């Protein structure tokens, strides 16, 4: 016999991440302090592009697309968290993020994110 009131249903919800680019953001003119604060050495300069991908292993594919689509440097790729950080000239970083979103959507049927900018 159940402890629940008659007519009530128990619903259990779980978060199951889909195939999506959850964040695509450009920091157009970061300060040198920001570069240092996030652990970027002097070889990484210019704009910063940040991506978060689920499932996290797809960050490797996103990094591949970004690095082949424009003149950016891969600053960080984490296949466990799905994070990708790229640096370079502003136009190159924006182009790389758009290429990643388009590629992930077309190749893997990912849900895209808007590219935001500060």
The string of pLDDT tens digits covering residues 49-107 is 999 999 989 999 999 999 999 999 999 999 999 999 999 999 999 999 999 999 999 99
Determine the average pLDDT of the residues in 31-52.
89
Determine the average pLDDT of the residues in 44-50.
90
Per-residue confidence band for 42, with pLDDT thresholds at 50, 70 and 90: confident
- Domain range enclosing 41: 20-117
Query: How many structural domains compose the chain?
Result: 1
In a domain, 10, yes or no: no
In a domain, 110, yes or no: yes
Closest CA to 42 of 66, 73, 84: 73
Return the higher-pLDDT residue of 37 and 3.
37
Q: Which pLDDT score, from 0 to 100, does residue 11 have?
A: 66
In a domain, 12, yes or no: no
Q: Which pLDDT score, from 0 to 100, does residue 65 have?
A: 97
Closest CA to 66 of 85, 41, 38: 85
Side-chain-side CA neighbours of 22 within 13 Å: the count stands at 14
Residue by residue, DSSP assigns 84-101 as: EEEEE-HHHHHHHHHHHH
Closest CA to 62 of 72, 53, 75, 71: 53
Q: Which pLDDT score, from 0 to 100, does residue 12 have?
A: 62
| CATH code, domain carrying 33 | 3.30.70.1710
Whether pTM > 0.85 for this model: the answer is: no
Residues 6 or more apart whose CB falls under 8 angstroms from that of 17 comprise 54, 55
């Amino acid at each position: 016999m159940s402890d629940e009131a008659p007519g009530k249903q128990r619903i259990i919800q779980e978060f199951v991440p889909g195939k999506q680019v959850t964040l695509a953001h450009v920091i157009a003119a970061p300060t040198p302090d920001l570069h240092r604060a996030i652990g970027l050495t002097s070889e990484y300069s210019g704009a910063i592009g940040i991506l978060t991908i689920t499932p996290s292993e797809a960050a490797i594919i996103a990094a591949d697309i970004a690095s082949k689509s424009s003149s950016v440097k891969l600053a960080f790729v984490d296949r466990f968290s799905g994070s990708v950080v790229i640096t370079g000239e502003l136009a190159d970083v924006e182009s790389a993020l758009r290429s990643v979103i388009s590629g992930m959507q077309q190749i893997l049927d990912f849900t895209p994110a808007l590219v935001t900018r500060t």
